[in-house]
Structure 1
């Protein structure tokens, strides 16, 4: 399945294909942002597409990617199981907790959870 814009919770979401290219550089993130200009307000990226550096906060990659999305006024949602990464990093656990309390970057287990969260926010 290619990346496709779908409506979830009444909001246009670019749902990224789990088999798509990895997000391993800032340019990869900018490519997703560019694809979102087809009408999406939210970009839902499978956790499996994110390079491990995203989850290792010392690399600063997560911060760089998240800041790009904020700058372009798009919400970033990481979709999927990140428990392996959370178990290895208290800092990442704190980032996920704080991000999920805000509105720009969310971490959700699946698209159903994203749909529910977007409906609740409406």
Structure 2
């Protein structure tokens, strides 16, 4: 895994780049959070392709458990991907509501994620 740094208005954003799934469990989320927090990052960009597919099936409750950790510890997260492929109304509603807040954002591009996190 590689971490690319983006600094916008003194906000340090860590973009996680990997060819593998790196977020499978709430414990993985805590490890990512802790790793980036101790490196001085304020916010995180993660790609949908690096997240276990069950995350996007809200019935599994994996998304809630993982995202709660990021919100609880105050580490804003943007997830970049093509979410139009998911036909779940509840997931689409969840994404819509998340994007209204400041802690968890779903974006279609890295530039959109950076824009959302730099607010």
Normalization by structure 2: what TM-score? 0.89
List gaps (5 residues or longer) in structure 1: none
1:26: how far off?
Answer: 1.2
* Other-structure match for 2:93: 94
* Number of residues of Structure 1 aligned to a counterpart in Structure 2: 118
1:28: how far off?
Answer: 1.1
Contact 2:6 2:13 in 1 (8 A): yes
Structure 1 residue runs of 4 or more that deviate by more than 6 Å after TM superposition: none
1:108: how far off?
Answer: 0.6
Question: Following superposition of structure 1 onto structure 2, how do residues 1-122 of structure 1 map, counting pairs within 5 Å?
Answer: 2-8=2-8, 10-37=10-37, 38-85=39-86, 88-119=87-118, 121=119
List gaps (5 residues or longer) in structure 2: none
Give the secondary-structure state (helix, strand or coil) at the position aligned to 2:2. Answer: coil
Normalization by structure 1: what TM-score? 0.87
Question: Partners of 2:92 and 2:113 in 1: how far apart?
Answer: 19
Contact 1:2 1:20 in 2 (8 A): no
